[in-house]
Structure 1
Amino acid sequence: MSQNPTSTSNFPKTIYVIQHLAFEDLGSLEDIFYQLGYRVRYFEAGVEDLTQALEHDGLTVILGGPIGVYENQDYPFLDQEIALLKTRLSKQLPTLGICLGAQLIAYALGAKVYAGQYKEIGWSQIEIKDLPNNILLPLKNVEVLHWHGDTFELPENAELLASSKYYPHQAFQLGNNILALQFHIEVLEESLEKWLIGHTCEIRKADLSIQQLREDNRKYASHLEQSCAEVIQIFLKQINAN
């Protein structure tokens, strides 16, 4: 990463991260946060109590996972996670959601989350909406990683930031502090092999080429890592401006 960023945060220096699957971690975001002077603490959903993470005054990141927001009968921990998230969002505490995390934010804000008609897995560009100061402008003409089958309606008062060919709601923001990304901005080139192993059943069921996913990762991931750093720094500046 070419940047040599410095942190100007006026909120807690620890970032809490809710993880739903062991190999879906912060990826490139982790190094970005460390370079900005933050500490990172992970919480394992379904194993640990998420109260501390979701009542945190600083930034909380909610990562992806293969389960659906609506599968609470099979995964009862979702009820607590959603209830705590509703309270968190009502206070407009700094929150970033990625993939399942974005779906949880949408659901907690009252929007419908449901299974889509197409499994969107692989690298492609998103349509960045023509908005003043769109936080995702660094991703224009950049391939990002998609890995989802669920989608969501746009929550009330949320601003749509990006769309894709199959799913119109790829990213939204609510005020300065709440950002939800359906796609994976955080993927790290050197770590995707863990995804290819862990998601092998899903990949084969979707009749996708593991070799192609691997090749596309080599082709696109490093550029995404650079753009990801720009996006997250813009987001942190927005939070700090409050």
Structure 2
Amino acid sequence: MKRALIVRHVPFEGIAGFREPVEAAGYELERIDVTDPEFSRTNFNTPDLLILMGGPMGVYEREEHPWIDCEIDRLASRISLGLPTLGVCLGAQMIAAAMGEQVHAGPIKEVGFAPVALHDTAAHSPLRHVADVPVLHWHGDTFPLPLGVELLASTDAYHHQAFRRGPEILALQFHAEMGQDPRFEQWLEGSDDYVAEAGLTIAELRAQHDRHGADAVAAGRAMIAEWLRGFNRSAA
């Protein structure tokens, strides 16, 4: 069986809704937290699929989180080999950093369920499944677009919402995995100020989650299922 390794930067930001299509594609899931003593010794080049999830820290907070440099170095090695890699939010920023770009604070906090605008490059890509679907945003950092990638999606606040390099590398700033995971309540705990910076209240965000969550997860699952089929075909 193929092996997929999930890197969790915090325990409550896991694979969530993406679990179903990844397992359906024949992958056995393994997880490792960055706080695990084994993390610094984990070989990123051995899994058939690497999935980097989100987290509240910034890529630039390297003194506070010494594992960041180690993660970026190993991720750069994997990307140089063209091995299948998915990054979500912080994971997408890690991919950009591993490709030589500087992650930095963005102009605003972007939080809440809203659609992304797809570029022409995305018309026949897996992202077509999330067209016009409100998906969860929860970030305040951004990055220049790495060389050699295709920009797939944007919002008014953040131009670089999704990019890919070939069929194997996919980076998503938004959280199309979230919408039906009870761990969302852990995201909300203590987040009143952060959410308020985006012009929302916790109650409004919870209502958006209840209204849009199921559709967001369905679209996200279809997107990931098609992405997995794409690079599996290219490797056949």
The TM-score, its normalising length taken from structure 2, stands at 0.92
Which residue is 1:62 aligned to? 52
Question: Which runs of structure 2 are paired with 1:42-191 in the superposition (5 Å)?
Answer: 42-47=31-36, 48-52=38-42, 54-131=44-121, 132-191=123-182
Q: Which amino acid aligns with 2:200?
A: L
Closer, same or farther: CA 74–55 of 1 in aligned 2, 3 Å = same
Residues 113, 152 of structure 1: 8 Å contact kept:
yes
1 CA distance for matches of 2:109 and 2:197?
Answer: 10
SS of the equivalent of 1:81 reads helix
Which residue is 1:20 aligned to? 9
2 CA distance for matches of 1:93 and 1:115?
Answer: 28
SS of the equivalent of 2:106 reads strand
Closer, same or farther: CA 66–207 of 1 in aligned 2, 3 Å = same
Q: Which amino acid aligns with 1:175?
A: G
1 CA distance for matches of 2:131 and 2:5?
Answer: 28
Deviation, 1:50, is: 4.7
Residues 116, 131 of structure 2: 8 Å contact kept:
yes
Residues 17, 62 of structure 1: 8 Å contact kept:
yes
Gaps of 5+ in 1: 1-11
Closer, same or farther: CA 124–40 of 1 in aligned 2, 3 Å = same
Deviation, 1:134, is: 2.2
RMSD (Å) for aligned C-alpha atoms: 1.7
Residues 16, 53 of structure 1: 8 Å contact kept:
no
2 CA distance for matches of 1:42 and 1:228?
Answer: 20
2 CA distance for matches of 1:53 and 1:194?
Answer: 30
**Larger CA deviation: 64-73 vs 94-103:** 64-73
Which residue is 1:203 aligned to? 195
Residues 4, 51 of structure 2: 8 Å contact kept:
yes
2 CA distance for matches of 1:201 and 1:231?
Answer: 32
Residues 109, 155 of structure 1: 8 Å contact kept:
yes
Which of these residues, 199, 220, 231, is aligned with residue 223 of structure 2?
231
Which residue is 2:207 aligned to? 215
2 CA distance for matches of 1:66 and 1:29?
Answer: 20
**Larger CA deviation: 83-92 vs 185-194:** 185-194
Gaps of 5+ in 2: none
SS of the equivalent of 1:56 reads coil
Closer, same or farther: CA 33–130 of 1 in aligned 2, 3 Å = same
1 CA distance for matches of 2:72 and 2:132?
Answer: 34
Deviation, 1:201, is: 4.8
The TM-score, its normalising length taken from structure 1, stands at 0.90
SS of the equivalent of 2:39 reads coil
2 CA distance for matches of 1:53 and 1:128?
Answer: 34
Closer, same or farther: CA 53–219 of 1 in aligned 2, 3 Å = farther
1 CA distance for matches of 2:128 and 2:166?
Answer: 17
Which residue is 1:34 aligned to? 23
Number of residues of Structure 1 aligned to a counterpart in Structure 2: 231
Deviation, 1:51, is: 4.2
